[in-house]
Amino acid sequence: MVDAYFITAKELSLLSPDTLPTELTSAKHMIYSSPATLDFNSPGAKGFGVKRAGLAIPGSVMLLIAPGCCGRNTQLLNELGYSERFFYLMLDDTDIVTGRYVSKIPKACEELLEELDYTPSVIMLCVTCVDALLGTDMERVCRACEDKTGVKAAPAYMYALTREKRLPPMGLVRKSVYSLLEPQKRRSDECNIMGFFSALDDGCEIYPLLKKAGIKKVRELGRCETFEDYQEMSRANFSLVLNSEARAAAQDMQTRLGIPFVELTRMFRTDKIHNQYRLLSQAIGAELDDSEYLSAAEKCIVDFKAKHGALTFAVGESINGDSFELALALTQYGFKVAEIYGTVGERNFVFVKKLAELSPDTRIYSNLSPTMMNYVPSPEIDAAIGADASYYHKGRAGIDFNGEAQPFGYRGVIMLFEELDKALAERGSAE
């Protein structure tokens, strides 16, 4: 039996994103499809994978063009109310070998419109690794569909093969969902928040901070109720990009609409959050006094540690955050992170290097490695963060930390420790 593969933070820090071990690169081995990998292998299963993300535009519908295996595990979409907005063009072996189905897509769009009693704002054409391998020109296909139906069409690329590339599927779909915005006169007191498909938690401090800076209207895709609301995002004076996977979308909006952007990173280290707000203040030319929110977050951490002690965590990647940055934050706060289950890439390698300095023996696993079938839970884990980490550590206190309301800034730190406190209390009561 081959033991579950892991590499320590110190060992990994001596490598680079281009020299990762085969076990950490999904394109170089078979993929272990366990419950822990459901989020990535079936992007429509939960959270905001490509399928659900492509429907983030108000009034949109989706045509999934795929073999049956790629259409599985979409039941949750129906449970969330998407059943009337989701259609299938199923491909057989001959379709895939010959590529003949491409000419059927405009007709399929026409047929799905006949099933609706309204005209959708856009038809999202969701394609899979089949089209990645065939090199299908989806921009041309979208134009053909619009010519056939009179309704706009846009691509949603569910290319699992490109998950570790510079522009992964979730980056591509973000670019697509903002691609329908049209030029409007920009307003100096409006801005966009980009990066997520659902809105930030209502209690996030970024809203009052921007308001004090003179921003009267903050728009987010997750708060748009109509297609008209969505189109008003093109009036923004600037955009705040809170997730690097939205960078390509923001760059496209800057080119097409003239809307510049400032990029921030979702982090859980309070000193880095404070520094980001300081830099944002300089970028927009307005003072952002975050001292009140900084104090509240630091008090929350101190109170949690006083109550529960220096816990040992396992951190997964199916969370609202970067598993390596979150592990680094916990380590800096005086906790121990024994294990991380995550995808290592260029964007988060800097966190690996810093983590190696503080916790060189932290073990890093890949959820997708077939060796995880032989994973043996570590008895030292006190609490797990992420549905994948909780799967590996059944019986331990755990949180999914993957809710609809997105954590960010100091509010994100408080949300994390509040959820952990609740889970630990419930676990203590059960025992």
- Digits of tens for pLDDT over the chain (431 positions)? 689 999 999 999 999 988 988 888 876 777 676 655 555 444 334 566 778 888 899 999 999 998 877 766 566 666 667 778 989 999 988 988 888 999 999 999 999 999 999 999 999 999 887 877 788 899 999 999 999 999 999 998 876 555 555 566 777 889 999 999 999 999 999 999 999 999 999 999 999 999 999 999 999 999 999 999 999 999 999 999 999 889 999 999 999 999 999 999 999 999 999 999 999 999 999 999 999 999 999 999 999 999 999 999 999 988 999 999 999 999 999 999 999 998 888 888 999 999 999 999 999 999 888 899 999 999 999 999 999 999 999 999 999 999 889 999 999 999 999 999 999 999 877 66
What is the reported pLDDT for 45? 42
Tell which residue, 110, 167, 165, 105, has the closest CA to residue 131: 105
What is the reported pLDDT for 382? 97
In the numeric block, which tokens belong to residue 350?
A: 């800097």
Tell which residue, 385, 383, 381, has the closest CA to residue 402: 385
424 CB contacts (<8 Å, ≥6 apart)? 308, 383, 397
What is the reported pLDDT for 133? 77
Q: Give the C-alpha separation, 44 to 52, whole Å.
A: 6
Q: CA separation (Å) from 385 to 120, 127, 200, 401?
A: 39, 32, 20, 7
What is the reported pLDDT for 38? 53
In the numeric block, which tokens belong to residue 283?
A: 């970028």
> Alpha-carbon Rg of the chain, whole angstroms?
22
What is the reported pLDDT for 135? 83
105 and 141 Cβ atoms separated by less than 8 Å: yes
Helices (DSSP H) in 15-104: which residue ranges? 38-41, 50-53, 75-79, 93-98
Helices (DSSP H) in 309-370: which residue ranges? 323-332, 349-358
The phi, psi pair for 255, rounded to 5°, reads -70, -45
CA 157 vs. chain centroid, Å, equals 15
What is the reported pLDDT for 161? 53
Burial-class residue 428 by CB neighbours within 10 Å (0-12, 13-18, 19+). exposed
Maximum Cα interatomic distance, the chain, rounded to a whole number of Å: 65
